[in-house]
Amino acid sequence: MGIKAALPRYELYLYRVVLVGALIWAGSWILEASSESVNRKAFKESVKPGWHYFGRKMDVADFEWMMWFSTFRNHILFALAGHVIFAKIFTLIAPKHRSLIFGVYGGLAVLVTMGWTFMALVLSHCIILYSVALVKSKWLSFAAGLATLASIKLEPYNSWQESLVTGSFDLQDILFYGGCGFSIMRCMSFALENCEKKDGNYTFCDLLKYNFYLPFFFFGPIMTFDKYHVQANNTQLTRKEREMWNITTKALLHLGGILVVDVFFHYLYILTIPTDLKLVSKLSDWCLAGLAYSNLVYDWVKAAMMFGVINTVSTLDHLDPPQPPKCITKLYVFAETHFDRGINDWLCKYVYDFIGGDHDKIFKELLATICTFAITTLWLGPCQLVYIWSFFNCFGLNFELWVAKFFSLPPFSTIEGAMGEAMSRRIRGVFNAANFWAIVLYNVLALNSLEFAKLVGRRLIFKGFPLSTLSVLLVTYCGVQVVKESERQQALLEEPEPVKPEDGGKEKAE
């Protein structure tokens, strides 16, 4: 109830005005804090000279962003451009073997970049999980896959394997863990899909072609084997109308997004400020709320830009890759919260939906979420911060179901049925606003630090009550209603048109 409920236009206009005004207000506080603190000693390592024509220093605290779009930008572009050219030439020459060409180019690129010891290690993982896949047991495939994943995430096994492929350049350790981690997840997908194959088995060559597709190899996203195998082996390579125009437009939008983020980093030090708790403790409640929110928005933008670049390349290869994650601004339920759609799709397909079914049963949902977050914890690397993040997000996902079940019982369901849809939407919006900040606080601790998340929580919930607490919730409520209106309009567009009765009524009557 409530998705199709329309609110008055003036009310929605008021919500938009309040939301925009609050974002500008919070941004001005962050801008002031950034400008006044640029020369702080704590900022020395993460605030460096930026573009000379801005005349300001730039926030460079995020190594991953700087690696992709500054430090190693040319190396990444060279590798991806080589893949595009190589793949295009051989797709035209031998379209039936293009998946093999993808795998050969990717394997050679990995070999040249990381060396033969890393290649041997990845191949050993492939051989082990392929051998298990031949048994066609899902539980055995899961056990072998998780054990292999644990070998690169837990001591002393990860240090021993990493020592085999030590190198001299800065990206070596990142490429090691990224390459091995995503490779194991792809091998698990292959093994689980092989269990579903009724006649015979997929070949080891199928696994290698899937695993060594270069755009996905080191950084993802993960595309499950069943989808990749069908799309990569499709020989009917046609483009939809205006598809190349759309690909070009998206590529330009990604380039524009990258430039906009770099410009913002010259004025808003949203990544560096949370690391200086002495400074953070002196900031206003609005500034803290803006910092917490902007950090999640930035993480979404980063994922959208990184995966956007990779997805552009894979779309040129006639693949339909996992899309970037849903914007944090549009997330007001835990069930839709994720920052990597590829991993999310993988977990939903093989764990969450497999165990949870229709996600309507409390105990099945609890088991499904515990298993999902247990695997996610192993994927991220077990540590105290990840344990806390997993616990709270697992709790949030289950708590949503418990609350929904509770309010679906009489007399609450009767009361909601008696009120109008618009009022129901407003009441649900209040709960969604509180839920939004639970999502922010539960996830900002993983993006920044536990101390920063605790400080924001104390200020907004306890010390700032009632003025800061209620004002932030009011603004969030306005944002939720704006998002709900967008979803309502999208649902109406996707709704099939009613079938018009044929003009044969009169004839039939006659």
**Greater model confidence, 456 or 323:** 456
Query: Which of these, 169, 146, 173, lies nearest to 159 by C-alpha position?
Result: 173
* Pair of tokens at residue 401: 């179901």
Dmax over CA atoms of the chain, in Å, equals 92
Residues spanned by the domain of 82: 71-233
**Do 187 and 266 lie in a common domain?**
no
**Domain end among 233, 260, 277:** 233
Q: Is the pLDDT of residue 483 over 80?
A: yes
At 502 the pLDDT is 52
Residue with tokens 């900022």: 43
Average pLDDT over residues 71-75: 81
Cα–Cα distance, 101 to 92 (Å, whole number): 12
Please give the DSSP secondary-structure letter assigned to residue 424: H
At 432 the pLDDT is 93
Q: Is the pLDDT of residue 94 over 60?
A: yes
**Tens digit of pLDDT for each residue in 157-175?**
778 877 777 655 567 778 8
**Do 331 and 456 lie in a common domain?**
yes
* pLDDT band for position 297 (cuts 50, 70, 90): very high
Residue 65 is assigned to a structural domain of this protein: no
> Helix, strand, or coil here: 420?
coil
**Do 160 and 42 lie in a common domain?**
no
Count CB-CB contacts under 10 A for residue 350.
Answer: 22
Cα–Cα distance, 362 to 399 (Å, whole number): 10
Percent of the chain whose pLDDT exceeds 70: 95
**Do 425 and 469 lie in a common domain?**
yes
**Do 305 and 418 lie in a common domain?**
yes
Which of 52-56, 336-340, 372-376 has the weakest average pLDDT? 336-340
**Do 15 and 85 lie in a common domain?**
no
At 509 the pLDDT is 38
At 507 the pLDDT is 40
Residue type at position 202: Y
Residue type at position 36: E
Residue 216 is assigned to a structural domain of this protein: yes
What is the number of structural domains in the chain? 2
Residue 116 is assigned to a structural domain of this protein: yes
At 286 the pLDDT is 92
**Do 187 and 298 lie in a common domain?**
no
Q: Is the pLDDT of residue 252 over 50?
A: yes
**Do 259 and 321 lie in a common domain?**
yes
The pairs formed by 360-367 with CB atoms below 8 angstroms and a separation of 24 or more are 362/398, 362/401, 362/402, 362/405, 365/397, 365/398, 365/401, 366/398
At 169 the pLDDT is 59
